[in-house]
Structure 1
Amino acid sequence: MGLLTALLSAPLAPVKGVVWVADQLAEAADREVNDPAVIRAQLAALNQALEDGEIDLARFEREEDRLLDRLEASTGPGVTQ
């Protein structure tokens, strides 16, 4: 039965490989997006943009809230870094 299963599933091997690679890329992107160091760097850049007059206070506050929510979600409840 093992040989028959191998022969029947052989055409699906490339598809399984592509799915695995896509999963690995998605996981890597998720780790990078949710990395607290990356989010802190984005907060610093946002603060600099406000100080340089590139954005107004309303936009700063919206973006800051969004980034702080992501930072809180990435560190988990009760975790401080």
Structure 2
Amino acid sequence: MGLISEVLLLPLAPVRGSAWAVKQVLQEAERIYYDPATVRAELSRLEEQLEAGEITEEEFDRIEDELLDRLETATRGSAGTGQQGTAQ
């Protein structure tokens, strides 16, 4: 951007800064949500809940499907970046 546009957009700086901060928080939340280690830990906890009788088989199946979908999305997304689920 040129100097004139920067001066004209200066009053919007707080809004642009807030939008950047919100975007950063959203990206970090998505990274944690789709982190394979987090999903595997949730799957382990889910199995413990089933064995302890805290949830029914139907609840287990439904939640397990959701977690496996997240894990598949995470591995598909990291395949293109070469990260293989590691944080950088």
TM-score, normalised with respect to structure 2: 0.81
2:34 maps to 1:12: no
> Alignment RMSD, CA only?
2.1
> Any stretches of 5+ residues in structure 2 without a counterpart?
none
5 Å-filtered alignment, 1:63-78, equals 63-76=63-76
Displacement after TM superposition at 1:21 (Å): 0.3
Q: Specify the structure having the higher radius of gyration (Cα).
A: 1
What's the counterpart of residue 42 of structure 1?
42
> Any stretches of 5+ residues in structure 1 without a counterpart?
none
Aligned residues: 79
Aligned equivalents of 2:30, 2:40: Cα separation in 1: 16
Structure 1 stretches (4+) deviating beyond 3 angstroms? none
Task: Point out the more displaced range, 65-74 or 39-48.
Answer: 65-74
Displacement after TM superposition at 1:69 (Å): 1.1
Aligned equivalents of 1:73, 1:36: Cα separation in 2: 9
- Matching residue's letter, 2:25: L
- Matching residue's letter, 1:32: I
Q: Tell me the alpha carbon deviations over residues 25-61 of structure 1, each in whole angstroms, 9 at most, x when there is no partner.
A: 0000000000000000000000000000000111101
